[in-house]
Amino acid sequence: MGIYFARGSSRRLRFRMIIPAYPTFNIYSKIAKTTTALGPLMVATVVSMMKGWDVEVIDENNYRRFGPKDGRGRPDHGTLQAIRRTDVVGLYGGLSSTIPRLNELVRFYKEKGVTVIVGGQHFVGSNIGEALEGGVDFVVIGEGESTIKELLEVICAGGELEEVAGIAFMRDGRIIRTRERDPITNFDELPLPNFNLVRYAKIKLYPVGWIRGCGMNCEFCTVKGKPRAAEVERVVEQIAALLESHNARHFFIVDDLFGHKREDTMRLCSLLAEYQKAVGRRLDITVQIRLDRAKDTEMLHAMRRAGIYTVAIGFESPIAEELKAMDKRIHPEDMISMTRLYHQAGFLVHGMFIFGYPLPEGLRLNISTAERIRIFRTFIKQARLDTIQVLLPAPLPGTELTDRLAAQNRIFPLDCVGWEYYDGNFPLFRPDEPLTPKEMQSAIRKIMGRFYRFRSMFAIGINILTFPSIIFSLFNIKVGWRKWYRPWRTNLLRFGGWIIVKRWTTEFKKDSFMHRLTRAEQRLLRDPEEKPDDPH
């Protein structure tokens, strides 16, 4: 615990928060270069308000402006440590696929005598013990803003670590886990996120937080608990501060539950519309929202006036049996009709899907992979989605889905298929018959490969040629602009998506995953009754 020496010292201490890089290029890589993660930034912001601390955030996925790099093109932490020595490093483990990189950073900073703190959704169950045994000094469990402040105060002053709620640490070879910390409910006690702390990044899409937790309790998701919302004014304050300080125009409200409380949502939209009118700037806001909110016409109109242009919707699946298994109480035909209501209100719709969701015991879906692909393609076409994202179900740490698959001994061993593949793009368990892991792998590329096509580039050219048609809509230029802009933007996004899918496919062919997958399948066939105490 390397900073006990700080007691009585007048030297300022440094805290470096690091968001580890993705293991390889994937479908998130492009957007990651334009944004950053809000959770670790909030933790860093809290530390920056503490007396005697200098703070910086290194987002390895958005590291573009004058940052020293190593031979792999990643941040050169040796140089960073040489020019600005840090006393404590925080590592964000929100994505399991970044854990191999996180472990590299743990080893590097421990060799430099730095105190290492980790946190994020990955660290549950046995993963906490593995982190501590791997050299981590402290694991923060749950929300970190209050915890990090108390923890740093205690380790600087030499206090009792057991008094800090929500942490785990190692003492005399034994793991000690303190009492659970209550979820944060009064968000006004927290500072607004300070994006100036993010060094070397170019941020275009700014994340904004409003609601934490989710009461849907989907078995595949790690976000649980009763929803807790900040005051509506705090959301507007975040956006206003970023417009004023960074000339920000593009925002993503990161929560899954936009529209959760109708009255608050209507008031937020009203305040946002009034603010934009008062400052004379139009903003571009994306939200994640439930499909059934499309029935509320008044809310949709309020959202459009507020500058919300894009809605991201978790359709999950167009197959009725899979929707039932996910406890999604909706039919595919209703999903199409409600999506059209979003389109009619003027929104771009981004659809998020899970391919090959495993059904509970007793249920069976005996259709071929080709038929599944056809159903997905037909639904996407009928719903007229502007952009899509199709992932595979992943047995993420701490979810009910993981527990169910582990009990059936269906999860591929980690020593065959490592954490770096836990990003939703790779098959990680034995799927329901007649699906095979290799078919699942190719299916998502076939679906997105048909949707994101090179020919969208030609459509962009046609859109440009038709731009003068706006002039002939002078009687209602706003309508003319909307009719022209929407297909232009959609085709631009689809062509960009084609580039991403093509590059991802190229990187996949270079990877050893298919060889690893063969080994993993053989292991399960060889030891069909072997069930580990912990799935990971």
User: CA triplet 125, 126, 127: central angle to 5 degrees?
Assistant: 90
CATH of domain 4-177: 3.40.50.280
| Confidence at residue 219, expressed as pLDDT on a 0 to 100 scale | 87
Residue 77: burial class (beta carbons within 10 Å; 0-12, 13-18, 19+)? buried
pLDDT at position 459 over 80: no
Averaged pLDDT for residues 228-250: 97
Cis peptide before 183 (omega within 30 of 0): no
| Confidence at residue 9, expressed as pLDDT on a 0 to 100 scale | 58
Intra-chain end-to-end CA distance of the chain, in Å: 28
Residue 422: burial class (beta carbons within 10 Å; 0-12, 13-18, 19+)? buried
Dihedral (CA of 162, 166, 167, 173) sign:
positive
Give the class (CATH, top level) of 204-391. alpha beta
Tokens representing residue 190 in the block: 């927290």
Share of the chain above pLDDT 90, in %: 71
Pairing of strands 308-316, 88-92: unpaired
Q: How many CB atoms lie within 10 A of CB 125?
A: 14
| Confidence at residue 474, expressed as pLDDT on a 0 to 100 scale | 52
CA distance linking residue 409 with residue 535, whole number of Å: 9
User: Can you give the residue ranges of every domain in the chain?
Assistant: 4-177, 204-391
pLDDT tens digits for 3-62? 554 445 567 999 999 999 998 777 778 889 999 999 999 999 999 999 999 999 999 999
Tokens representing residue 18 in the block: 């690091």
| Confidence at residue 483, expressed as pLDDT on a 0 to 100 scale | 60
Residue 76: burial class (beta carbons within 10 Å; 0-12, 13-18, 19+)? middle
CA distance linking residue 498 with residue 157, whole number of Å: 54
Measure CA 194 to chain center. 19
Nearest one of 425, 413, 324, 498 to 26, comparing CA atoms: 425
Count of residues making up the chain: 536
Averaged pLDDT for residues 187-205: 97
Dihedral angle of Cα 380, 382, 387, 392, to the nearest 10 degrees: -10
Q: Which string of b and e fits 179-203 if b means at least 16 CB within 10 Å? A: eebeebeebeebeebbbebbbbbeb
Averaged pLDDT for residues 252-263: 93
pLDDT tens digits for 306-363? 999 999 999 999 999 888 888 788 899 999 999 999 999 999 999 999 999 999 887 8
CA distance linking residue 109 with residue 77, whole number of Å: 9
Dihedral angle of Cα 60, 63, 66, 68, to the nearest 10 degrees: 20
Left if phi > 0, otherwise alpha if psi is -120 to 50, otherwise beta: which for 409? left
| Confidence at residue 5, expressed as pLDDT on a 0 to 100 scale | 46
Nearest one of 210, 279, 197 to 240, comparing CA atoms: 279
pLDDT tens digits for 472-517? 455 555 555 566 566 767 777 777 777 777 887 787 778 888 889 8
Q: What is the phi/psi pair of residue 275, to 5°?
A: -65, -45
Averaged pLDDT for residues 296-303: 98
Tokens representing residue 507 in the block: 């990187």
CA distance linking residue 511 with residue 2, whole number of Å: 38
pLDDT tens digits for 78-126? 999 999 999 999 999 999 999 999 999 999 999 999 999 999 999 999 9
| Confidence at residue 485, expressed as pLDDT on a 0 to 100 scale | 64
pLDDT tens digits for 388-419? 999 999 999 999 999 999 999 999 999 999 99
Q: What is the mean pLDDT of the chain?
A: 89
pLDDT tens digits for 153-182? 999 988 999 999 999 999 999 999 999 999
Nearest one of 212, 274, 263, 211 to 240, comparing CA atoms: 274
